[in-house]
Amino acid sequence: MQHRPADVDIGGLPRAPFLTPEWAAALEDDRQRGAAELTPRESEALRLYAMGLPLKSVARRIGIASETAKEYLEVADTGS
């Protein structure tokens, strides 16, 4: 996901979260099922990605490999 420079606050983070309809649905489904289904790290990866950070940046932020970050997002998307 990309965001326009006008939408970026100091520090490089978006001012407001941006969610695609698919990710918004994944978050809503998680709320309906109960947040216990995602680990804290999966939830953090999803939160950062939903804010518009690229996958590599999400991985760097939480100290994991890009492939692991991708797996976390797949778990959030599929619920398994």
Please give the pLDDT value at position 4: 45
Which value, in Å, is the radius of gyration of the alpha carbons in the chain?
12
Q: What is the mean pLDDT of the chain?
A: 75
Give the CATH number, domain containing residue 50.
1.10.10.10
Summarised one tens digit per residue, pLDDT across range 41-66 is 998 999 999 889 999 999 999 999 99
As a whole number of angstroms, the distance between CA 14 and CA 16 comes to 5
Residue 9 CA, distance from chain mean position: 18
Residue 9 falls within a domain, yes or no?
no
- If you average pLDDT over residues 19-31, what whole number do you get? 71
Contact assessment for residue 42 and residue 72, using Cβ atoms and an 8 Å cutoff: yes
41: left (phi over 0), alpha (psi -120 to 50) or beta: alpha
Domain of residue 78 covers: 20-29+37-80
Residue 46 falls within a domain, yes or no?
yes
pTM of the model: 0.55
